[in-house]
Amino acid sequence: MSRYCEGSINCDDKHATIERTVQMLADCAAVLCTKAGPGPSKSLAAAGIAVVEVYDRVEAAVTAAAARPEEGVA
């Protein structure tokens, strides 16, 4: 089983793919990403995982996310 969706051939069941991804992230407090759609954001939030959208280098993004305790990341 692939850990990530790599296109419509591998991801024919979109709902199951999102749920598997959320399960793999279950021990994470947050995810850093450049963009998360409303479906994945809702599923992650329901699992208690904050979605932090950032447009910067990883080091700067982690520092910025840690400075935002209102998102439950710190």
Q: What is the pLDDT of residues 14-25, one digit of tens each?
A: 567 888 889 999
- Decide if 64 is inside a domain: yes
Q: In which residue are the tokens 């209102």 written?
A: 70
The answer to whether the pTM exceeds 0.75 is no
How many independent structural domains does the chain possess?
Answer: 1
- Decide if 54 is inside a domain: yes
- Torsion sign across C-alpha atoms 39, 42, 46, 47: positive
- Decide if 39 is inside a domain: yes
- Decide if 62 is inside a domain: yes
- Decide if 41 is inside a domain: yes
Domain around 32: 28-71
- Decide if 57 is inside a domain: yes
Q: What is the mean pLDDT of the chain?
A: 78
